[in-house]
Amino acid sequence: MSGLIDYRDLPGWVPGQVLLSSDGLGWKNVNLRSYRYEGQDVVVPAMRDFMLVGYRGGVTPMQRRFDGKWRRETLCPGAASLLTRAQQAFWTWHAQIDVVHVYLSAGLVAEVAGEMLECDGAEVVLNDVLRTDDPVMTHALDTIAGEAQSQGMGGALYVDAVSRGLIVHLLRRYASVRLPEARPAGALSPAEERRIRGHIEENLASQMELKEMAAVLGMAPCRFSRAFRRSFGRPPYAHVTARRLEEARRLLARTSLPIKAVAADCGFSDQAHLTRMFSAAFGETPAVFRRRAQ
């Protein structure tokens, strides 16, 4: 999804001292960082992953605005918070605290939900929980943190197993799950949709031909084009163009890259091409949008 930040970018919005990290340990779909934070009043941007927070040191009143409403709790060791993905949140606290963050990828959560519900493509949203005293969750967070600390043999497999059990617990107690609508006849399967979405996201800077995209799914171009339109509601070329423009908006708003470089990174032939397409879609040039957004 465009505009969602990676967990590694979080210190840019919430500065803190890193105490422990799973970076470089070869874990898949699960990551961990432990921080020491001073009191702050911050905005956590919409994140790519689901985030669980375990409190390990310090006691502080905490306020969080998640969906328009402020929640207030006192947080201390043994408590935990949940933050769903793709949701901006405002956090305010005053005392020093030590926390552990566990980040669960959307793909892993959806996979576990699919196995539980015997369906593919379920959409999961974590409930707004500023404080829960949940020994199952706390034990899982501590176990994952302990694995990052010890770096034992088979750590990636162990963390995957613990995380899947944790996700089942979250789905039972703290999640809303929306089942996918029945897909139109002749549309792509959910697995095919994921594969072609991934291909598009990984190749936005490249020139994607219809034949090449169809080959990703082993289809003839005509059949692929019909199935893609039934699944996404627009032809492949229009979808790719829309994704390129969304990525261009993100880069213009959040980076200082020259507009020429933004055009190249998003698959436009040159700056003039980006300007024409951007102006037609959004009613203003990239330069005007950047001045207004930054």
Contacts of 229 (CB under 8 A, 6+ apart): 235, 236
pLDDT at 182: 60
Read off the pLDDT band of 183 (50, 70, 90). low
pLDDT at 1: 40
Query: How many whole angstroms separate alpha carbon 262 and alpha carbon 250?
Result: 10
3-state helix, strand, coil in the chain (%, to 5): 45, 25, 30
Per the document, the length of the chain is: 294
Asked whether the predicted pLDDT for residue 2 surpasses 60, the reply is: no
How high does pLDDT run on average in the chain?
Answer: 93
Q: What is the pLDDT of residues 95-133, one digit of tens each?
A: 999 999 999 999 899 889 988 887 767 789 999 899 999
Which domains are present in the chain? 7-178 (2.60.120.280), 190-293 (1.10.10.60)
In this prediction the pTM is: 0.64
